[in-house]
Amino acid sequence: MSLTARALLLDMDGTLVNSDAVVERYWRIWAAEQGLDPEQVLKVVHGRQGHATMAALLPDRPVERNLADNRWMLERETTDLDGVVPVPGAAAFMAALAALPHALVTSADEALARARMGAAGLPMPEVRVTAERVGASKPDPEGFLKGAAELGFAPADCVVFEDSEAGIAAGRAAGMRVVGIGPRAGAHAPDAHVRDLEQVRIEALPDGTMRLHFSG
């Protein structure tokens, strides 16, 4: 199977970087403090900004408390990089994209994105849409639409790479095709689905577009 695109919009956690160990460590602590079942909480944390997840889990909780807990979590996750590794194939994938239009669109803030991409040994894309730059978290399409606009391409010309339900929904809402990465993505009917980035090959075409080849 293959797709053609003029630009790629890349999620980070679960797509380029495997940070599950850190994410789960701190969400388990938070869930226990709130009297919530950690296993149920972990089913919904991926893809969203932390405060948005907290609001979904505890809808009557004051926004200020969610924002404060979100700051606490970001501070710890930014300095705790134990277990943060690249998704298989991520280094070669990013190298193949180096001269092609692409952007990072992540629910992490700039500091956390830099820390995790650095820990995984991956280059930071020049165009980045991080948590500080959007008013609404995924599954809202704002981040992907902003990334496409900064790259100068229409949404229909962009392909999103995502691992989570919220991220896949955001890509779809933006009017983009979505490649699902990893086990979480398969249940949400992306346009293409691969185990990891080792199953993706990028071919630059003479007209400036790229063809994405998927194996496996």
Q: What is the pLDDT of residues 11-55, one digit of tens each?
A: 999 999 999 999 999 999 999 999 999 999 998 888 788 999 999
Residue 172 CA to chain centroid, in angstroms?
14
Query: What's the confidence (pLDDT) of residue 46?
Result: 81
User: Residue 66 and residue 53: Cα distance in Å, rounded?
Assistant: 9
Has 20 been annotated as catalytic?
Answer: no
Query: What's the confidence (pLDDT) of residue 26?
Result: 94
- 92 pLDDT band, cuts 50/70/90, is very high
Across residues 204-208, what is the average pLDDT? 94
Tell me the two tokens of residue 202: 């990028």
User: Residue 108 and residue 116: Cα distance in Å, rounded?
Assistant: 10
Query: What's the confidence (pLDDT) of residue 89?
Result: 98
Query: Is the distance from CB of 3 to CB of 177 less than 8 angstroms?
Result: yes
Has 13 been annotated as catalytic?
Answer: yes
Q: State pLDDT tens for residues 134-185.
A: 999 999 999 999 999 999 999 999 999 999 999 999 999 999 999 999 998 9
Tell me the two tokens of residue 98: 């180096």
| pTM of full prediction above 0.85 | yes
% the chain with pLDDT above 70: 100
Query: Is the distance from CB of 200 to CB of 93 less than 8 angstroms?
Result: yes
Q: State pLDDT tens for residues 99-134.
A: 999 999 999 999 999 999 999 999 999 999 999 999
Query: What's the confidence (pLDDT) of residue 1?
Result: 87
Q: Check whether 212 has a pLDDT greater than 80.
A: yes
Q: What is the DSSP string of 84-97?
A: -EEPTTHHHHHHHH
Q: Which of 13, 20, 109, 140 is catalytic?
A: 13
**Peptide bond between residue 139 and the one before it cis (omega within 30 degrees of 0):** yes
Query: What is the side-by-side order of every strand in the sheet holding 7-10?
Result: 127-129, 102-105, 7-10, 158-162, 177-181, 192-194
Query: What's the confidence (pLDDT) of residue 43?
Result: 87
User: Residue 198 and residue 207: Cα distance in Å, rounded?
Assistant: 25
Query: Is the distance from CB of 152 to CB of 158 less than 8 angstroms?
Result: no
User: Residue 151 and residue 55: Cα distance in Å, rounded?
Assistant: 32
Query: Is the distance from CB of 200 to CB of 92 less than 8 angstroms?
Result: no
User: Residue 153 and residue 155: Cα distance in Å, rounded?
Assistant: 6
Residue in 66, 67, 77, 79 with CA at minimum distance from that of residue 20: 77
| Residue carrying the six token digits 């639409």 | 145
Q: Check whether 216 has a pLDDT greater than 80.
A: no
